Amino acid sequence: MKIVFLTGNLVQMGTTTFRFLEQRRNDDVEFIVGDFILPKKTTGQSIKIIIEKAGYRYFLFKVFETVLYEILSKINKFITWNPAFVTVKECAAKYNLPCFTTKNFNSPETVNLIRKLQPDLIISIAPQILKSEVIRIPRLGIINLHPALLPEYRGLGPYFWPLYNNEKKAGATVHFIDEGIDTGPILNKTEFPILESDTPHTLYWKISVVGADLLLKTVKEIEENRVHPVKQDEGKKYSWPSPADISRYVSRKKRLMDLRGVIETLKKDCFKGELL
């Protein structure tokens, strides 16, 4: 099967793609990586929007998280090669797979590139809403890995809001993409209990692992024509947490990140399910 991934370059996305490729080595896979923070925005504009929406505390948390993971992924190559810390571009290089970059998945140049690649299926882990010009290209459609349970948690902040809302479980959903925001028919979803020690960081890593397994299951079902799409009920669409939301979350003695948890993640083998 010819598969094109539309994705960012974060190490958590690298974990998902690495785990997927380990099980689907016979597929013809190519990557298009979004080289942006927010689509169609410069770096400066993106930073300004995030600070305006979520405040400095959340912005600094995301900067610290991103920089830390980049550093750890580089150190990890020299100490112990754990697939839990690899960027998507590094993953593509390891498997000698073509990897393109774009500033906008919906740009005419990227749409033309996707047409030339002639994918049977597109897998989206992309931080951008795709337009109909892209959606119509692959003969088997586009599936999206959404890192939260649908339809309850559409939109942004999928690792934050379940913790903020004191949910007992979190999970991931694979659905066909339509032109809405996480509104397409659901193909599969999985869930796991939220622990007292969980943070947005640990949820991100757990979903990176279970999300890969969910993609593997879904692609096999598509390949064998065994999918049964389920129309979504009315759900709720979330945006960035506001500064007040972050303050309320922290006031409950909850953490955005536990540095010890980062180190523990680095030690664990994501292929054996130890993150769950």
Map out the domains of the chain with their CATH numbers: 2-272 (3.40.50.170)
**pLDDT of res. 101:** 96
Closest CA to 212 of 276, 136, 257, 152: 276
**pTM for this prediction:** 0.91
Q: Which helix (H) or strand (E) holds 267?
A: helix 259-267
Cα dist from 99 to 8, 15, 129, 209, whole Å: 12, 16, 20, 22
- Low-confidence winner among 67-71, 157-161, 208-212, 259-263 (lowest mean pLDDT): 259-263
Give the model confidence (pLDDT) of 208-226 as tens digits.
889 999 999 999 999 999 9
Give the model confidence (pLDDT) of 220-246 as tens digits.
999 999 999 999 998 899 999 999 999
Q: Cα–Cα distance between 117 and 30 in angstroms, integer?
A: 8
- Low-confidence winner among 69-73, 86-90, 121-125, 129-133 (lowest mean pLDDT): 69-73
> Are 119 and 2 contacting, i.e. CB atoms less than 8 angstroms apart?
yes
**How many percent of the chain have pLDDT more than 70?**
92
Residue where the block lists tokens 């947005």: 200
**pLDDT of res. 64:** 84
pLDDT at 81 over 60: no
Q: For the chain, give the mean pLDDT.
A: 89
pLDDT at 83 over 70: no
**pLDDT of res. 201:** 83
Residue where the block lists tokens 């942006």: 36
Mean pLDDT of 131-155: 96
pLDDT at 275 over 60: no
DSSP 79: H
Cα dist from 91 to 21, 83, 203, whole Å: 9, 9, 22
**pLDDT of res. 276:** 55
> Are 10 and 159 contacting, i.e. CB atoms less than 8 angstroms apart?
no
- Binned at pLDDT 50, 70 and 90, residue 262 comes out as low
Sign of CA dihedral 39, 145, 122, 178: negative
Closest CA to 106 of 92, 122, 90, 93: 122
Give the model confidence (pLDDT) of 3-45 as tens digits.
999 999 888 898 899 999 999 999 999 999 998 888 888 889 9
Q: Which helix (H) or strand (E) holds 135?
A: helix 132-135
Give the model confidence (pLDDT) of 178-202 as tens digits.
988 999 999 999 999 998 888 988 8
pLDDT at 80 over 70: no
Sign of CA dihedral 111, 102, 240, 11: positive
pLDDT at 260 over 80: no
Q: What is the pairing mode between strands 154-155 and 142-146?
A: unpaired
- Binned at pLDDT 50, 70 and 90, residue 271 comes out as very low
Closest CA to 153 of 169, 138, 142, 139: 169
**pLDDT of res. 146:** 96
